[in-house]
């Protein structure tokens, strides 16, 4: 190990000991990072969830499906909060701290404020178009 350290040190010193050439200036690298614009949230839901909720409302839907990610151990509390908002809870899964529910469109914006809610995803309204040509 000692021989390796000495060899590396010797190589470093040899590289540092080269003669300076007239006009040889140190290279200065300047990195300019472009400004990044982060889209702001369009409310308590994220932009995608808000857009999906808007499409559901435009389509005249009275309810919309949501998937709610909960804090560990607070699934039952979130389910109770969803039911208090008038939601129908479809499938709570305590193993992964998620719950699927059908929520009235006018109550979806209040779901993220429930204690224990980590994230809310609003399902896209399904189009039942005929896939045959």
Q: What is the mean pLDDT of residues 82-97?
A: 87
Please name every residue paired with 65 in a beta bridge, in sequence order, or none if there are none: 102
pLDDT tens digits for range 37-87: 333 333 467 888 888 888 888 888 899 999 999 999 999 999 999 999 999
Polymer length of the chain = 133
Domain that holds residue 117: 63-122
- Look up the CATH number of the domain holding residue 104: 3.30.70.80
Q: Could you tell me the pTM of the whole model? A: 0.60
Number of domains in the chain: 1
In a domain, 41, yes or no: no
Give a yes or no: residue 96 inside a domain: yes
Q: Which residue has the higher pLDDT, 2 or 67?
A: 67
**CA-to-CA distance for 56 and 28, rounded, in angstroms?**
55
| The token pair that represents 51 in the structure block | 């857009």
């Amino acid at each position: 190990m000692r021989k390796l350290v000495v060899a590396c040190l010797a190589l470093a010193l040899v590289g540092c000991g080269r003669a300076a050439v007239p006009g040889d200036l140190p290279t200065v690298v300047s990195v300019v990072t472009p400004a990044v614009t982060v889209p702001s949230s369009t409310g308590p839901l994220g932009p995608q969830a808000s857009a999906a909720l808007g499409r559901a409302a435009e389509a005249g839907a009275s309810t919309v499906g949501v998937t709610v990610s909960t804090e560990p151990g607070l699934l039952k509390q979130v389910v109770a909060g969803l039911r208090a908002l008038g939601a129908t809870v479809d499938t709570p899964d305590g193993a992964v701290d998620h719950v699927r529910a059908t929520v009235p469109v006018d109550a979806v914006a209040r779901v993220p404020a429930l204690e224990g809610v980590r994230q809310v995803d609003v399902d896209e309204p399904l189009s039942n178009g005929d896939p045959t040509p």
